[in-house]
Structure 1
Amino acid sequence: MNYKGIILPHHFYADFVVLGKIILEVKAVSAISDEFVAQAINYLKVSQNKLALIVNFGEHKLTYKRIVL
């Protein structure tokens, strides 16, 4: 992981990276929490991608959040 020109020994593992540009996080929870949004923002920052989608299958209907940097 490269952060501000410094190589960090950590790895991030997004659920999916679509077309090499979109971070896709798939959840099955009662609600999308701020923790999931923060995680997606971190993934965007370290990957230098601009769009993340958090898709939640755990509610009565499909819900999602779109995060754009």
Structure 2
Amino acid sequence: MIESDLLLHGYRLGVFPMAMEDDSIEWFSPDPRGIIPLDSFHLPHAARRAWEQRKFEIKIDTAFADVIRE
């Protein structure tokens, strides 16, 4: 288990933990980082249908402090 202070410190440095097959945890800092360019983003048909049926909600930057604290 990773202590919350260590996890937050890693996030501030731009790294994140990932469990490995042997149950160890390693820190990663991908280069380049994953970016979804919104000007050319295509929403697949199944995802669009799920959105139209209100099967889920999309939120951005909502309750950030609460999420980090949890």
TM-score bucket of the superposed structures, by smaller chain: under 0.3
**Comparing both structures, which one devotes a greater share of its residues to strand?**
1
Higher helix share: 2
Indicate the structure whose relative CO is greater, using CA pairs within 8 Å and at least 6 residues apart. 1
- TM-score (normalizing by structure 1): 0.24
